[in-house]
Structure 1
Amino acid sequence: MANIIRWGIIGCGEVTEVKSGPGFQKAEGSQLVAVMRRNGELAADYARRHGVARWYDDADALINDPDVDAVYIATPPSTHKDYVLRCAAAGKPMLVEKPMALSHAESVDMVEACSAAQVPLFVAYYRRALPRFVKAKALIAEGAIGQVRFASVRLHRPPLASDRDPKLAWRIDPAISGGGHFFDMAGHQLDFLDDLFGPISAVQGFAGNQAGLYKAEDIVSGSFRFASGVQGVGQWCFSTGDSVDEIAIHGSEGILRLSCFDDSALRLENAEGARSIAIANPPHVHQPLIQSIVDQLRGLSRCSSDGASGARTAWVMDKLTGRLSD
């Protein structure tokens, strides 16, 4: 692979404006050279505003562009498998947005296709590389809370106005997103726990639709056990009157709490007392993960958020919602 990794984006929509797109331009050894959107006018507008040399309204044209070394697939999950298979056939490494696919079965197909083609596949669970989460992982590894016993995850909030907006509600349409807000958000939490403790080996869960605002589930609860011996519980509800966003890691000598979807300070409690550790997110939250991917493609280091880890998270979500049975 070249010293500079030249990227193309398929689906230059909202998520690429600030969170990810500029990261491909600012990461060391990286360059964004082409973008694609089905609406050519919007693709041209994005390219103009972001200083990108070329734009396309056809995905195959971008994938087969000889000046594109790797592809970022930033479309809804319903198209991920198709684009990944096309990139694999073209021999192009790719970063695919989360959720990785509509199901664990699709995720496995994607991993197998990339393995057969000997092409790297990465998944955009970018919290693995965000400084605040890296610090949390380091504190646990250093024994700040002793031996980890269990983790608890809570995410609940009131319904969103966008749930009734046809232009935005694709996230709660299982045919496009794979599920509801649980599939859109909980994967970040579960993937981070996978990064901390390794694969989850057993899962039990329940899903339901209590508010009846849309077809997808709006509540999921469950328990899980990691192969390492750590256990966990989770509760996700998207029709409550209050808002909670917390991952709590309980150890033999303390507890570490952190939020997943804002940059609130880490909260560490142990024999030394209680303290907060504030670490702000970078301007482009995908950039640290992008840097780790670029570094792997350049032969410098390894990125941990790959197709295998993404498929594991897909498996856990399918198990928690009952899409997969024993």
Structure 2
Amino acid sequence: MRTYRIGLIGLGGMAHSHIRWMADERRYKVVAVSDVDERALAEKGEQLGIKPGKRYPDFVRLIEDPEVDAIVSVTPNNVHSDILRACLAAGKPYLAEKPFTRVFEEAEQLLELYERGPVPGMVGFSYRYTPAFRYARELVREGKLGTVRSFSIQYLQSWGAVLNDTPYLWRFDKDITGTGTLGDLGSHMIDLARFLFGEFQELSAQLRTFVPERRDPATGEMVKVEVDDFVSFQARMTSDAVGIFQSSRNAIGSGNQHEVSVYGDLGTLHASTLNPDQLVWIREEAPGQLAKAVIDVPERCKVSQYGDFLTLLDGLAPDGLPDFMDGYRNQEVLDAVIRSSAEKRSVALSQPN
């Protein structure tokens, strides 16, 4: 089996996880790295045994390197668009972090390039690989719940809460991120809804900033926060199912709580990252008698993100892999949430041709 030579862009905290995930698959070899931080570039280059000539301060040079087969990008949002643009120009397959871009205008520009010259790619909606979510999708698609009438999705974390006195970080900088909780966590909620139920038809949203200022750790000065701490919205899908969404980084007691409840004519499902290998299924056991069961997820639903990326690089298209158009559609919904909140109205989504 072929081993793929990977160019890794972005050497921050999440890069360590991606390196480990690649190592688990045994068919990736990181041969080049890129970062704007020269110290990180040197340290990670030494750790990975990367030759100095393959440590690139400029990610475009890494993408153009003929000895790199594919790109893994783990960077802040403000360079997502430029990295994807360079991958499309070079015809280089990629796995790129979410959100797809910083703002929707960047996504529209990328779509024009992609339609002129598609390149195989994957967007890092990693929760498609939570076994409980994959099994929930299987049960919904097989009609085990009957017609799905409604659902709720939430993604809660606590690290931004006032109690934690979280300083001003790049995730609070609008010029870098575009949005706050919405792009960071809300993009995962949107992707989970699309993964389970299809396209969005319309939505109505609200964004809030609970902590208007945070302390700059370098200067000690207070800095204005211009991105959201909280997002909630209601949506109607093209299937006519309706959904309620909420996300916050200020939910004390929630470490990484991403979950969905699905309500159909024949029963209810609950699935969560807090118990990724099981889901709760409520259904009628006998006429007028409901049964609540905790169901183990079958092994076929335990698929890895980097396993699917290998399948893509091998020339196949795995079912459910989040590709370029999934990234684009996700960004379109993010933009609709922003417009709905700002204009205090419902916003309709365009539909795929």
User: Could you state the TM-score of these two structures normalised by the residue count of structure 2?
Assistant: 0.80
Q: Look up the equivalent residue of 1:108 and give its one-letter code.
A: E
Provide the C-alpha distance between the structure 2 equivalents of 1:261 and 1:211, rounded to a whole number of angstroms.
Answer: 27
**Greater shift in the superposed pair: 271-280 or 215-224:** 271-280
Equivalent residue, structure 2, for 1:164: 166
Equivalent residue, structure 1, for 2:239: 228
Q: Look up the equivalent residue of 2:229 and give its one-letter code.
A: D
Unaligned segments of structure 1, at least 5 residues? none
Deviations 1:88-114 (A, max 9, x none): 212212221011111222122223323
Provide the C-alpha distance between the structure 1 equivalents of 2:48 and 2:274, rounded to a whole number of angstroms.
Answer: 26
| Counterpart pick for 2:266 among 253, 257, 265 | 253
Equivalent residue, structure 2, for 1:27: 25
Deviation at 1:14, TM superposition (A): 0.8
Provide the C-alpha distance between the structure 2 equivalents of 1:289 and 1:62, rounded to a whole number of angstroms.
Answer: 23
Q: Is the 8 A contact 1:258 1:264 kept in 2?
A: no
Deviation at 1:290, TM superposition (A): 2.2
Provide the C-alpha distance between the structure 2 equivalents of 1:142 and 1:16, rounded to a whole number of angstroms.
Answer: 37
Deviation at 1:63, TM superposition (A): 1.2
Q: CA RMSD in A?
A: 2.9
Unaligned segments of structure 2, at least 5 residues? 214-224, 286-290, 348-353
Instruction: State yes or no: 1:301 paired with 2:317.
Output: yes
Q: Is the 8 A contact 2:261 2:269 kept in 1?
A: yes
**Greater shift in the superposed pair: 233-242 or 92-101:** 233-242
In the TM superposition, 1:170-181 aligns within 5 A as 170-181=170-181
Equivalent residue, structure 2, for 1:275: 293
Deviation at 1:138, TM superposition (A): 1.6
- The DSSP-based 3-state class of the residue aligned with 1:100 is coil
Q: Look up the equivalent residue of 2:167 and give its one-letter code.
A: D
| Counterpart pick for 1:216 among 205, 216, 227 | 227
Q: Look up the equivalent residue of 2:266 and give its one-letter code.
A: E
Q: Look up the equivalent residue of 2:136 and give its one-letter code.
A: A
Provide the C-alpha distance between the structure 2 equivalents of 1:55 and 1:153, rounded to a whole number of angstroms.
Answer: 41
Provide the C-alpha distance between the structure 2 equivalents of 1:130 and 1:156, rounded to a whole number of angstroms.
Answer: 16
Provide the C-alpha distance between the structure 2 equivalents of 1:174 and 1:262, rounded to a whole number of angstroms.
Answer: 33
Number of aligned residues: 318
Deviation at 1:29, TM superposition (A): 4.1
Q: Is the 8 A contact 1:224 1:233 kept in 2?
A: yes
Equivalent residue, structure 1, for 2:288: none
Distance 1:206 1:61, change over 3 A: same
Q: Look up the equivalent residue of 2:293 and give its one-letter code.
A: R
Deviation at 1:300, TM superposition (A): 3.2
Distance 1:261 1:274, change over 3 A: closer
Q: Look up the equivalent residue of 1:147 and give its one-letter code.
A: T
Percentage of matched positions with identical amino acids: 27
Provide the C-alpha distance between the structure 1 equivalents of 2:151 and 2:41, rounded to a whole number of angstroms.
Answer: 43
Q: Is the 8 A contact 1:114 1:120 kept in 2?
A: no
Provide the C-alpha distance between the structure 2 equivalents of 1:157 and 1:201, rounded to a whole number of angstroms.
Answer: 28
Q: Which entry has the higher C-alpha Rg, 1 or 2?
A: 2
- The DSSP-based 3-state class of the residue aligned with 1:271 is strand
Deviation at 1:295, TM superposition (A): 0.9
Q: Is the 8 A contact 1:172 1:181 kept in 2?
A: no
Q: Look up the equivalent residue of 1:274 and give its one-letter code.
A: K
Q: Look up the equivalent residue of 2:282 and give its one-letter code.
A: E
Instruction: State yes or no: 1:94 paired with 2:111.
Output: no
Q: Is the 8 A contact 2:181 2:247 kept in 1?
A: no
Q: Look up the equivalent residue of 1:297 and give its one-letter code.
A: L
